[in-house]
A and B are shown apart, each in its own frame.
Chain A
Amino acid sequence: DSGVTQTPKHLITATGQRVTLRCSPRSGDLSVYWYQQSLDQGLQFLIQYYNGEERAKGNILERFSAQQFPDLHSELNLSSLELGDSALYFCASSPGGVNTEAFFGQGTRLTVV
């Protein structure tokens, strides 16, 4: 158990809908990262928050957004869903210092039908 909690574990929704994925980081970690993993691609970095502020952005679609709340949990919002958005979405956390490893949650498997 990495200490990072993601909910829900599975999500099935229709195209055009909006969903919210939730992540609780490890106790004491200030950084939260979101990654997308699809079958044909490896782990793709989406976005990072540090202590409530956005710090780095990857190839995140405009239909996707995220935020980190004062209690440090984070939410990833996916809207106008398309079939191609079906993937595993992982959250990771780290204390926030340089050169520290990130610990991953168990992921949310999103299926868009």
Chain B
Amino acid sequence: EDQVTQSPEALRLQEGESSSLNCSYTVSGLRGLFWYRQDPGKGPEFLFTLYSAGEEKEKERLKATLTKKESFLHITAPKPEDSATYLCAVLGPTGFQKLVFGTGTRLLVSP
């Protein structure tokens, strides 16, 4: 069964203090790894899709990387508006489009 583990569960940063979030996965035949951002009471907002080990994608202060066992979401010089829960999900070979989500990392950036 596909599994996704995210760490840490919660992370508090000062504005400008860069850090990384981890997503470890177990899936036979990864078809895609997805990062979403979720604000309280809102739906997840799509950020990135990564398809193969070595791939990297960037968007503003966020950069996502992928290896064969894990993905990292690097946050450079974060701002308070980056505070949210960041979710990682994998798409395995079974199921037409069944994303398996981790429980997320709650990020709080203080000014």
Number of A-B contacts (CB under 8 A): 70
Q: How far is the CA of A56 from the CA of B91 in the complex (A)?
A: 13
* Contact A56 B96, CB 8 Å, known A42-B103, A42-B104, A99-B51: yes
Inter-subunit contact B91/A99 (CB<8 Å): yes
16 additional A-B pairs beyond A2-B46, A99-B32, A103-B46, beta carbons within 8 Å, are: A33-B97, A42-B87, A42-B102, A43-B44, A43-B87, A43-B101, A45-B98, A55-B96, A55-B97, A56-B95, A96-B97, A99-B49, A101-B32, A101-B49, A105-B43, A106-B43
A residues in contact (CB < 8 Å) with B = 2, 4, 31, 33, 41-45, 48, 50, 55-56, 58, 88, 90, 92, 94, 96, 98-107, 109
Inter-subunit contact B96/A31 (CB<8 Å): yes
Kindly identify, within residues 37 to 69 of chain B, every residue whose CB is under 8 Å from any CB belonging to chain A: 41-46, 49, 51
Decide if B74 is an interface residue (CB 8 Å cutoff): no
B residues in contact (CB < 8 Å) with A = 31-32, 34, 36, 41-46, 49, 51, 87, 89, 91, 95-104
Q: How far is the CA of A99 from the CA of B91 in the complex (A)?
A: 8
Inter-subunit contact B103/A94 (CB<8 Å): no
